[in-house]
Amino acid sequence: MIDAGVAGIWNDMNEPASFNGPLPDDIIFDNDGTIVTHKEIHNVYGHMMDKATYDGIKEFTGKRPFVVTRACYAGTQKYATVWTGDNQSTWEHLKLLFMPALLFTLIQEAVIGKDYPCLLTQKAKAVLAGMAWIVVGFYTYTGVWGKDVAWIDILLFYTAVALYTWLSKRSIEKEKKYCNAGVGTAVFVLTFILFLVFTVQSPKIGLFRDPQTGSVNVSKILV
């Protein structure tokens, strides 16, 4: 490839992995004569591949190589730049809907909040409906079909955005005279806190699981 003019290498899916769930921790590897478990070598495996790629290109060209990698370990940045891979979970899709909705709601509240005292409550209902659509839709079709399909996930997300947008517009047009604005505020604040906490410390349940790797731990997904 270098002879053909390729200037860099992209190491993708370069860690021990399975498309049928996480690999068992009792799988063993030969690490320079030392027998180690998958749990010990998982991240180092990608690091060593990156180092080998870097050293091979440099030896052949005499120039500093350009290497992109998905799997990495401490010190990999010496040999390659890192990207996070195509990772997804229902939880991440919910964040993609909630965070922009929260920002837009705050802007609306600052601009037109005085004219629409129920804005926060109505917007909270809309965003909860959109997130519920994603969760119910995902587990319904995967339960029936038996597998995760990327284009259906994308379609679910965009229909959830459409549902949120429609409900938001409809709720503002049919503004109620009396409502508890504190409820909407509480929903947004509590949901935001849950996203912060559970993104770092994800419970080991399906909502947080990457359908491809089976992992729920961010550090494992990224490497």
* Residues known to be catalytic: 12, 15, 86
Query: For residue 171, how many other CB atoms are within 10 A of its CB?
Result: 19
Q: Quick one: DSSP state of residue 8? A: E
Q: Which two tokens stand for residue 184?
A: 């909407």
The rounded distance, in Å, linking the Cα atoms of 73 and 79 is 11
Asked if 9 and 64 count as a contact pair (C-beta separation under 8 A), the reply is no
Q: Is 31 exposed, middle or buried (0-12, 13-18, 19+ CB in 10 A)?
A: middle
Residue keyed to tokens 């959830």: 160
Asked if 128 and 187 count as a contact pair (C-beta separation under 8 A), the reply is yes
**End-to-end Cα distance, the chain:** 26
Q: Quick one: DSSP state of residue 89? A: -
How many alpha carbons lie under 13 Å from residue 22 in its C-beta half-sphere? 16
